[in-house]
A and B are shown apart, each in its own frame.
Chain A
Amino acid sequence: MGCSKSKEARVAERQADGKRGRGGRRAAKDHLFSPTSPENSTGSASTALTGPSAQLQAWIDSHSEVTLSKSTCKRYTEVKKLFKSISVPYFLLELDQAENGRGLEGALCELTLKTDVPVVFVKRRQLGGHGPTLKAYQEGRLQNLLKMNGPGDLPESYDYDLIIVGGGSGGLAAAKEAAKYDKKVMVLDFVTPTPLGTRWGLGGTCVNVGCIPKKLMHQAALLGQALRDSRNYGWNVEEIVKHDWERMTEAVQNHIGSLNWGYRVALREKKVTYENAYGQFVGPHRIKATNNKGKEKIYSAERFLIATGERPRYLGIPGDKEYCISSDDLFSLPYCPGKTLVVGASYVALECAGFLAGIGLDVTVMVRSILLRGFDQDMANKIGEHMEEHGIKFIRQFVPIKVEQIEAGTPGRLRVVAKSTDSDITIEGEYNTVLLAIGRDACTREIGLENVGVKLNEQTGKIPVTDEEQTSVPYIYAIGDVLEGKLELTPVAIQAGRLLVRRLYGSSTVKCDYENVPTTVFTPLEYGACGLSEEKAVEKFGEENIEVYHSHFWPLEWTIPSRDNNKCYAKIVCNIKDSERVVGFHVLGPNAGEVTQGFAAALKCGLTKDQLDGTIGIHPVCAEVFTTLSVTKRSGENILQTGCG
């Protein structure tokens, strides 16, 4: 009956020209009376689909017109003729020819509560079968329906040049950059509340629940230390100074609020459209934006950028979502968390544990295995030791299995049952607050990627991209924490976003360089690093080919209060075979971030040990230690610090 006989395209029908699609095996095909977009005609119907209902819904959501029928059905050729005659892009699916046709048929049944075919959907509305469709056409209703939402759903021009999903550091940087090229840009940003209901404004993790509040609270903790130090420097500060959580949090939140506002203003000034709505791909070049009232709108764009980031992971044990908090809640917690159990050994866990202890709280960290996985372990262990010496308790090789509420309150009381990782021993503890910091999951599973065929690493939920941040779907790009195998850092996302836009709309060819990216962990003793960890360097070059130079140092400022001697530590890892080129830089000490930045620039320029030795130190600062490193780790010589230089 005029249905497709193609071996590869089981369901396919051509518009007038009858040209065969270039795509491989596909379950369905778009029919464009005027193929304005190459991506469309080469087919981007999903290859990684979930269940049949979802697939069905996706098609209905993403096409102006969808007809579901069977190849043996006579009535549907008339429907087809009709759509051809009115030159409307239509989408046709023959259930009996489709892969998983049976499943789809079932799904259709559930959706329509009918078993008859054909079924016609126009603009996501079920028009009915053959009769009602023709009737709607005769009465002009069909034509009106098709005119909804502007000039048709796959128009000759898109609503936007670029739609960015996620208004975090990377997304906003890309949006602002694209606006410089006079592109029509939209940002969709929506914060799904935490299980406890915390939500926030525009700007993403870094600004709202990451770097910014973290650094400010870390600063609060450092000031606590400064108050103690100041007595030794002649300031008559009282012996015990109390800390007011609410005052700190309010100050931090005020700053965040001003940043949120600043971002909105910046977008407006740059004429970027911002919608506080949740974006989900519904079909080729189309995205659905749902606002907090559930109102939905569909937008089309030539290109998309996924920058949705990550959210904290929960344990999946009884009581976790009901009673535990995550870093998404902590920074705006309206009450002091009190005695806190931090679960996890990520940098988030250690940073939070550090500043909570620093403002005077009783803090315990529960660690399953090692600290700061992925970081230099020698440094990670030194951080742990320092934290322990400063009163933070560590419970190692235990994982929580149950969290119960003993008493509600602000804070209440919780009982945590934990089990050993290598035996059946269980322990119990009572805390006011349990903070989960066991890792973060990419926000990629509920944004409709299956509807457009963006490939995911199914295990991690991360999106693999090319070195130009392109996903498996050519017109969809991704940056930031959702990327597979890349660094989860704000400045990296910003850099990647900005460079991507310059490549897309400027004539740039500069790619984001993910090598030698410096970073800092703001634990009480800060840790700055750039390049390879010692372990990675050994793995890459062989133990005999690397030389590690190291030294302890004692910041001059700490000598007067006489604290923490031989805790600060500097280490560089050199590749002997390459003129002792510095491949790893590690520093543990105050202002580690400030120290590391410049060295990162030097690493970019191919820094060698010789050049380090030839550089004059700035006296008296911590960073100068790197210009006088002389002891190799191999030698085993003493690196305990005694006096000046």
Chain B
Amino acid sequence: MHQAALLGGMIHDASHYGWKVAQPPHDWGKMAEAVQNHVKSLNWGHRVQLQDRKVKYFNFKASFVNPHMVCGVSKGGEETLLSADHIVIATGGRPRYPTHIEGALEYGITSDDIFWLKESPGKTLVVGASYVALECAGFLTGLGLDTTVMIRSVPLRAFDQQMASLVTEHMAVHGTRILRGCTPLRVERLSDGRLQVTWVDLASDKKDTGTFDTVLWAVGRVPETRGLNLEKAGVRTNPNTQKILVDAQEATSVPHIYAIGDVAEGRPELTPTAIMAGRLLAQRLCSRSSDLMDYDNVPTTVFTPLEYGCVGLSEEEAVARHGEERVEVYHAYYKPLEFVVPERDASQCYIKMVCLREPPQLVLGLHFLGPNAGEVTQGFALGIKCGASYQHVMRTVGIHPTCAEEVAKLRISKRSGLDPTVTGC
């Protein structure tokens, strides 16, 4: 859906590049159908793959009976008992509903619903400041919908905050309405079927209301651990987060029970980490591998309208760990070549590399805001894994003309106070 939104932007660009095209309306239903068909084909593909590899698949809801046995309940309510030497919990998380808010559950939806809506959500209020919130708000705006994001405190907590504010600034400039420092109080259904949301501005304590077609909660996710009867197996969780406590081997408090992915405490909630953790665990269990999952320097990308890719430490975290005096930050505002013809605004296209100040200036973190951020970040993540220093990156010849080459040309340090705007070629 992010891609659908990007394509909307490309249609706009296309006319500047000589294509005789006017901005057409967007058909939500058609997009949703295409996306859902693809997802279904992936579902099918996974089932086929499991079958090919002789993995038994049960469409059951499972819970523990004892440390070696789980009970599976089918759709029809039939129960099946299954036992195993090793058990891996990988139940993930589900969006959280702010149940203390009146009308939240009855009238709101979450990201679990939005991709499956057959009709356009219309004017939408997205509540939350997580990447889910910003991504959804971003593509809804891109598809031409009137979209508002309500953020209680800071966007993208745990991400680099300078980058986070550039992300939201870009969204605001491109038509997403952002309500900061506000929290919803209640959601009511009006007689015309629309939803009236009442919220409070936390600073002024002033109340305000707005009418929306859809309210999307993106206020966090809860691990799917409650229905598992973990206590029957003796698997311990963090009472605050409900996540399962694991060690470096991904083992829970019960040695033969493991947990990977979003249910595990302290793990990044990212698909590829879950995949790799699962794969490595299987290799340790089934063959003689002893390779452990390395959770450091995990790259990730936020698919907001202007994509944000990062790996390693945020500037705040680097300063916290090493002290401001020992950290050097190189940065640049740049303009993607493709932006010049359609005269797109590139005010938020920004790159930051956080390094140790002492030579050879080991790279601690890389933050990239711009088109194709994921593609750009992946290789550098590898570089950081290989112990890249600032010097290594500077000695890498750029690929011209790309956005990624700007990373290899970061020459201005924040400390110098010089203007980091890239000019010319």
Residues of A participating in the B interface, judged by any CB pair closer than 8 Å:
169, 203, 206-207, 211-212, 215-216, 219-220, 223-224, 226-227, 229-230, 232-238, 241-249, 251-252, 255, 259, 262-263, 266, 359, 489-492, 495, 513, 517-520, 528, 556-557, 559-560, 591, 593-602, 604-607, 611-612, 614-624, 626-627, 642-645
Contact = CB atoms under 8 A, between A and B. Distances in A.
B100 interface: no
B425 A206 contact: yes
Contact of B376 (A229, A597, A607, A620): A597
A594 to B, nearest CB: 4
A247 B424 CA distance: 23
Nearest to B294: A614
28 contacts: A203-B425, A215-B401, A223-B13, A226-B10, A233-B7, A234-B31, A234-B34, A248-B18, A251-B18, A262-B424, A266-B424, A490-B400, A518-B399, A556-B3, A597-B376, A598-B376, A598-B383, A599-B383, A601-B407, A601-B408, A602-B386, A604-B393, A616-B298, A616-B381, A617-B275, A617-B378, A643-B45, A645-B275
Q: Which are the 9 A-B pairs with shortest beta-carbon distances?
A: A598-B379, A234-B31, A248-B18, A643-B45, A597-B404, A623-B378, A621-B374, A598-B380, A599-B379
A206 B337 CA distance: 13
A590 to B, nearest CB: 8
Interface of B: 3-4, 7-8, 10-11, 13-14, 16-21, 24-32, 34-35, 38, 41-42, 45-46, 49, 143, 270-273, 275-276, 291, 294, 298-301, 309, 337-338, 340-341, 372, 374-383, 385-388, 392-393, 395-405, 407-408, 423-425
Given A223-B14, A593-B405, A597-B402, 19 more contacts: A215-B338, A219-B341, A232-B34, A234-B27, A235-B4, A245-B18, A593-B402, A597-B399, A598-B378, A598-B383, A599-B382, A601-B380, A601-B392, A604-B388, A605-B386, A615-B385, A619-B271, A623-B375, A624-B378
Contacts of A233: 3-4, 7, 30-31, 34
Contact of B407 (A242, A246, A597, A618): A597
A374 B34 CA distance: 42
Summarize A's interface: helix, strand, loop or mixed.
Answer: helix
Contacts of B401: 211-212, 215
A240 to B, nearest CB: 10
Nearest to B268: A616
Q: Report whether over half of chain B's contact residues are helix, strand or loop; otherwise say mixed.
A: helix
Contact of A618 (B300, B397, B398): B300
B46 A601 contact: no
B318 to A, nearest CB: 19
B94 to A, nearest CB: 19
A226 B14 contact: yes
B302 to A, nearest CB: 11
B301 A618 contact: yes
Contacts of B17: 216, 219-220, 223, 247-248, 251
A517 B300 CA distance: 26
A234 B42 contact: no
Most buried by B among A169, A263, A621: A621
Contact of B392 (A491, A605, A643): A605
Nearest to A558: B3
A495 B379 CA distance: 21
A557 B3 contact: yes
B385 A623 contact: no
Nearest to A512: B397
A540 B376 CA distance: 30
A262 B422 CA distance: 12
Contacts of B408: 597, 601
A135 B329 CA distance: 72
Given A241-B21, A495-B397, A605-B388, A212 B375 contact: no
Choose among B34, B386, B395 the residue with the greatest number of A CB atoms under 10 Å from its CB.
B386
Given A237-B24, A601-B383, A607-B382, A206 B400 contact: yes
Q: Which of B25, B31, B299, B377 has the most CB of A within 10 A?
A: B299
Given A559-B38, A615-B385, A600 B270 contact: no
A252 B340 CA distance: 9
Given A206-B400, A491-B398, A601-B380, A595 B375 contact: yes
Given A618-B272, A624-B378, A224 B14 contact: yes
A643 B8 contact: no
Contacts of A245: 18
Contact of B341 (A235, A255, A513, A642): A255
A616 B401 CA distance: 27
A585 B379 CA distance: 11
B337 A216 contact: yes
Contacts of A223: 10, 13-14, 17, 19
A58 to B, nearest CB: 36
A320 to B, nearest CB: 29
Nearest to B309: A618
A289 B26 CA distance: 59
A255 B340 contact: yes
Contacts of A226: 7, 10-11, 14
Contacts of B35: 560
Among B3, B10, B31, B378, residue most surrounded by chain A Cβ atoms (within 10 Å): B378
Contacts of A262: 423-424
Contacts of A644: 42, 45-46
Q: Pick the most buried of B18, B338, B393: most chain A CB atoms within 10 A of its CB.
A: B18
Contact of A616 (B270, B383, B397): B270
Nearest to B44: A643
Interface centre among B46, B49, B425 (most CB of A within 10 A): B425
A619 B272 contact: yes
Contacts of B273: 616
A499 B7 CA distance: 41
Contact of B18 (A243, A520, A643): A243
Contact of A593 (B18, B30, B404): B404
Contacts of B16: 247, 251
A206 B341 CA distance: 17
Given A227-B11, A604-B392, A619-B272, A489 B397 contact: yes
Contacts of B382: 598-599, 602, 607, 611-612, 615, 626-627
Contacts of B49: 642-643
A236 B22 CA distance: 10
Contacts of A251: 16-18, 341
Contacts of B41: 643
Contacts of B385: 602, 611, 614-615
Contact of B378 (A229, A519, A626): A626
B14 A227 contact: yes
A431 B309 CA distance: 46
A259 B337 CA distance: 12
B270 to A, nearest CB: 7
Contact of B276 (A255, A513, A616): A616
B392 A594 contact: no
Nearest to A247: B18
Interface centre among A206, A557, A617 (most CB of B within 10 A): A617
Residue of A215, A230, A606, A615 most packed against chain B (CB within 10 A): A615
A263 B403 CA distance: 20
A606 B386 contact: yes
Contacts of A241: 14, 19-21
A247 B401 CA distance: 22
A605 B383 contact: yes
Contacts of B375: 591, 594-595, 621-623
Q: Which of B7, B294, B309, B375 has the most CB of A within 10 A?
A: B375
B42 A519 contact: no
A247 B17 CA distance: 7
A235 B205 CA distance: 42
A517 B424 contact: no
Contacts of B276: 616-617
A239 to B, nearest CB: 11
B378 A618 contact: yes
